[in-house]
Amino acid sequence: MHHGAARRVAIVAANRIPFARSNTAYFKLDNKTMLTDTLRGLVQKCQLQGEMLGEVAGGAVMKHARDWNLVRESVLGSGLHPNTPAYDIQQACGTGLEAAILVANKIALGQIDAGIACGTDTTSDAPIAVSRGMQRTLMAMNAARSSGARLKAALGLVNPKHLVPEIPANAEPRTGKSMGQHAQITANRYGISREAQDELALASHRNLGKAYDEGFFDDLVMPYHGLSRDNVLRADTTLEKMGKLGPAFDRNGGTITAANSSPLTDGASAVLLASEEWARKKGLPILAWLAAGEVAAVDFIDEREGLLMAGAYAIPRMLRKHGLALQDFDFYEIHEAFASVVLCTLAAWESAEFCRDKLGLVQPLGSIDRAKLNVKGSSIATGHPFAATGGRIVATLAKILDQAGGGRGLISICAAGGQGVTAILEK
């Protein structure tokens, strides 16, 4: 599997469409359309028309059965050489970053020279399924070998219960609780206040708005279907406006609201990764290096650990493997599924008890400089199309490091199922 010495992996370029609040600008679009267009934009940007890459990896969380080969189909419409292999992955909200890690590993091992990591999601085109009873009835009709048998099977269609469709549930299969309900329980455990969450959400909107105004995203986000920037962004919001919203998941004293949470969002993103030699040969810039990745999972059943706290475990593992301290970073990108997730993660690393009992450390990891956190905004202000978030964050951090002239950045993305995907970027 290993071909020669391990190579450094360059983040060469990226492209995404503006993220749109569900049921707005992209209401009539599907995952394949958004992903194909996003890949095509990246291909045109890097002049890769007709180029055969090593692979394209990515996926979607909310996916129709018809999209079983989503990424390959999107590649075939992207302008890349049709001989470019592609495959789908899915690790909930960590999909985009996990795709980048998978592509990077193959580049590092010398199996391929360049590849694209991508992701797309839409809740405007959610896969609404027929009921289980209807599905079994239709399958029985299809399997019937005579008109009589087919008619007998069709009697199941008159059952009113079978006519009710199955809507995708925003809940963990193991617990029946929504992600927001789990996040509220964890916020209560760590004593995260409503005010602290609203302040972090406000910073997300202000940082993103400033970044757009300064032109930071001009070469990362392509205009699409009437949007030139994410329509979730509320650069003029205030703490007073946020304070008027009621609790979203616990009506009796809950601290998580629609204002300090990421909304349901549609969008797609793609990142081009390559070996240094390939990038130089193509005359493409090296924005940053993808230096490390780490994935973790926690047992969240019966609230043994917070559903979205796996990043708090993955990061220390990664730091230990690379001989780094939490403070050895110039920038931090912690995905804002909810403001409370970011604040709970930071609180855990500052806690002597958590670091001793959960991580086996002698002393806490400590605090970070908040001025280095999500400096160009994050998911609360940008939106969160599940599988597309990883690509957005990798691209943003890579450009931040490039503009800074160097440095080191840390990424942490929480995901459903008690998982977390993390990475280190360097320049």
Say if strands 20-21 and 265-275 run parallel, antiparallel, or are unpaired: antiparallel
Catalytic residues: 93, 384, 414
Radius of gyration in angstroms for the set of CA atoms belonging to the chain, rounded to a whole number:
22
Token couple for 157: 């269609």
Q: How far apart are CA 83 and CA 52, in angstroms?
A: 6
Cβ distance 270 to 42 under 8 Å? yes
Q: How many CA atoms lie within 13 A of 223 on its CB side?
A: 2
Residues contacting 225, CB < 8 A, separation 6+: 17, 20, 25, 26, 29
Cβ distance 383 to 261 under 8 Å? no
Cβ distance 93 to 62 under 8 Å? no
Token couple for 7: 């190579």
Cβ distance 258 to 380 under 8 Å? no
Cβ distance 412 to 315 under 8 Å? yes
Q: How far apart are CA 296 and CA 274, in angstroms?
A: 26
Strand locations in 276-322 (E): 288-297
Instruction: Give the H/E segment covering residue 117.
Output: strand 114-121
Residues contacting 40, CB < 8 A, separation 6+: 77, 78, 79
Count Cβ atoms below 10 Å from residue 151 Cβ, excluding itself: 11
> Phi and psi dihedrals of 298, rounded to 5?
-125, 155
From residue 179, alpha-carbon distances to 175, 266, 285, 402 in Å are: 10, 18, 39, 34
Eight-state DSSP code of residue 19: P
Q: How far apart are CA 234 and CA 230, in angstroms?
A: 9
From residue 54, alpha-carbon distances to 42, 48, 79 in Å are: 16, 13, 15
Q: How far apart are CA 332 and CA 315, in angstroms?
A: 11
